Amino acid sequence: MRSPIYPAAVPCQRHGMLQTVELPVWALILMGLLAAVTAASHLLFPSVRWFFRRRAERVVARLNENLKRPIQPFKLARRHDMIQNVLYDPDVIRAVNDYADKQGIPDNVAFETAERYAREIVPSFSATIYFGWGTKLAKWLSRGLYRVRVVRQNKHEIEAIDPEATVVYIINHRSNMDYVLVTYLAAKDTSLSYAVGEWARGWPLRPLIKMMGGYFIRRKSLNPLYRRVLARYVQLSTKEGVAQAVFPEGGLSRTGELGDPKLGLISYIIDGFDPEKSRDVVFVPIGLNYDRVLEDRVLVAAAGDNRSRFKFRISTVFRYVGRHIWQRVTGKFHRLGFAAVAYGSPLSLRDFLSEQHDDVAQDLGKALMGRVASSVPVLPVPLIAWHLQEAGGQMSRAKLTELFELEVAAMTEKRIYLCLPQSGAEKGLDAALRLLEARGMLLIDGDVLKLTGKYAELMPYYAGSIAHFRPKQAGDIKLQK
């Protein structure tokens, strides 16, 4: 007897509902991954995030016991919450509405633009990354490449700063090593939040810098909505006591000389400050100088061209690291001279605003750059570069030694900060001459010192780092008395 045929089953077979469906392997894998991510986001990720957050809180609690300026809760807040705090600020909402009206777009589209800006700016600070290996790497790089010297710690004035005040370090910008060097030196006191330019947006710097507490800024952007979002983040972090490091020149010096202050970030801090209600903001000037700047040739080549941009290339880093390791292995590596730091006298924003000013931001910028200029240490290589330039590129060693010692004595009397070996000025002179000779920039023939012409453009660059101490080239920078 035949099995009965059910008519209802025929259409199902005809339309393929009971047929085998073939899929490519990649599509099956993709579907599996999506299903796994969906399941994890509902079941696993919340508990994992809670576990790591509790662990991070314990790490921060231990760190804060030893830090002079503890890590502020604002810096530890969830990144999503910080973004929401920025976006729903009344000033930002008004800027969103104005932007929508000017661009002729819906408010929700303008809000999405503001949200994109906020995600770009707001960091994702990790205390574990920062203090776990970030500061250790900074120490290894700083001391591995240079003889690091703090020629003035100014402990008395800095320790006298109100513990509740927000500290903002104001630093001259000589090299990208500035970030590394200051992070290493400040690690015993606090964690710093940096404003970083667009050059560092590439992988792997972008996620690393965000985890180190840095935030990216578009220095050339005139977009009022972007500026409003950036200003609000800076004001919130300042209000909540987050220690910051600001390079008022806005970019690396391409001539070696100190530049005029860019007032963007300083203006945001001033605009968000209420002398009656806000915690005080104390600016701490820091002067940096190097016997050798890693990017010196790149910077000098770009001098005078405001359109040139510096981009991070991972291949360049690997090439440099490989060469460095090879020099270490073969014993041919020698450190790049001194990297010197000096802390200037702090400036309270509340005290500054209690005085009469025609233009607060302009006057504050000049005052801060004056204090930074006074704090820049004088190193052997810049001093030699200055005198060899003045002599037309050739001088006897005896004459240079005489000028060098006279200069050291005069600067010591003027209380200009000098970075020299403990063994004396003559040892510092000898080490600097060997450094220039090793780069092929200087020929030493008995008692005669002569510039070779190789990298000749670098001599004015290094001499420029101390040009503001020379009366004829002091420019508009007024040194702090």
Contact by Cβ (8 Å): 290, 466: no
Lowest mean pLDDT among 43-52, 72-81, 86-95, 421-430: 43-52
Lowest mean pLDDT among 285-299, 362-376, 421-435: 421-435
Q: CA 285, 291, 294 angle in degrees (round to 5)?
A: 90
Contact by Cβ (8 Å): 211, 129: yes
Question: What integer pLDDT is reported at residue 307 of this predicted model?
Answer: 63
Contact by Cβ (8 Å): 173, 292: no
pLDDT band at 3 (very low <50, low <70, confident <90, very high): very low
What pTM, to 2 d.p., does this model score? 0.82
Q: Which residues pair with 286 in a beta bridge?
A: 171, 343
Contact by Cβ (8 Å): 280, 170: no
Q: Length of the chain in residues, anyone?
A: 481
For residues 449 and 355, give the distance between their C-alpha atoms in angstroms, rounded to a whole number: 52
Mean pLDDT, the chain, whole residue set: 83
Structure tokens at 61: 């609690």
**Overall average pLDDT of the 392-411 stretch:** 91
Please state the φ and ψ torsions of residue 271, each to the nearest 5 degrees: -65, -30
Structure tokens at 175: 């090299």
Question: What integer pLDDT is reported at residue 49 of this predicted model?
Answer: 53
pLDDT of 266 above 90: yes
Question: What integer pLDDT is reported at residue 204 of this predicted model?
Answer: 62
pLDDT band at 372 (very low <50, low <70, confident <90, very high): very high
Sign of the CA dihedral with 200 first, then 203, 206, and 208 last:
negative
For residues 400 and 394, give the distance between their C-alpha atoms in angstroms, rounded to a whole number: 10
**Overall average pLDDT of the 274-289 stretch:** 94
Structure tokens at 152: 């003035």
Lowest mean pLDDT among 3-17, 181-195, 432-446, 460-474: 3-17
- Amino acid in position 452: T
pLDDT of 60 above 70: no
Q: Which residue has the higher pLDDT, 433 or 470?
A: 433
Lowest mean pLDDT among 67-76, 82-91, 174-183, 448-457: 67-76
pLDDT of 51 above 60: no
- Amino acid in position 167: V
pLDDT of 471 above 70: no
| Alpha-helix runs per DSSP H in 44-151 | 45-66, 73-76, 79-87, 90-103, 107-121, 127-129, 135-145
Whole-angstrom CA distances from 315 to 83, 95, 210, 321, 351 are 33, 41, 21, 10, 48
Question: What integer pLDDT is reported at residue 64 of this predicted model?
Answer: 67
Please provide the DSSP assignment of 73-96 as one string: HHHHS-HHHHHHHHHTSHHHHHHH
Lowest mean pLDDT among 22-31, 377-386, 453-462, 470-479: 470-479
Q: Which of 398, 393, 414, 401 is nearest to 466 (CA)?
A: 414
Q: Which residue has the higher pLDDT, 379 or 311?
A: 379
Q: Which residue has the higher pLDDT, 437 or 36?
A: 437
Lowest mean pLDDT among 12-26, 97-111, 119-133, 393-407: 12-26
Model confidence pLDDT, tens digit, residues 199-243: 666 666 677 788 888 888 887 788 999 999 999 999 999 998 999
Residues 6+ apart with CB under 8 A from 458: 296, 297, 300, 385, 441
pLDDT of 411 above 70: yes
For residues 465 and 375, give the distance between their C-alpha atoms in angstroms, rounded to a whole number: 12
- Amino acid in position 466: I
Q: Which residues pair with 284 in a beta bridge?
A: 169
In this structure, the number of other CB atoms found within 10 A of the CB of residue 215 comes to: 20
For residues 146 and 165, give the distance between their C-alpha atoms in angstroms, rounded to a whole number: 33
Contact by Cβ (8 Å): 389, 459: yes
pLDDT of 362 above 60: yes
For residues 169 and 285, give the distance between their C-alpha atoms in angstroms, rounded to a whole number: 6
Contact by Cβ (8 Å): 326, 333: no
Q: CA 151, 154, 156 angle in degrees (round to 5)?
A: 150
Side-chain-facing half-sphere of 406: CA atoms under 13 Å? 7
pLDDT of 397 above 60: yes
Question: What integer pLDDT is reported at residue 59 of this predicted model?
Answer: 61
pLDDT of 115 above 70: yes
Model confidence pLDDT, tens digit, residues 318-355: 676 677 677 777 776 778 899 999 999 999 999 999 99
3-state secondary structure of 321: helix
Element at 287 (helix H, strand E): strand 281-290
Q: Which residues pair with 196 in a beta bridge?
A: 216
Lowest mean pLDDT among 65-74, 158-167, 290-299, 459-468: 65-74
Which span out of 122-126, 442-446, 472-476 was modeled with the highest average pLDDT?
A: 442-446
Side-chain-facing half-sphere of 86: CA atoms under 13 Å? 32
Question: What integer pLDDT is reported at residue 329 of this predicted model?
Answer: 75
Question: What integer pLDDT is reported at residue 475 of this predicted model?
Answer: 41
**Overall average pLDDT of the 342-370 stretch:** 94
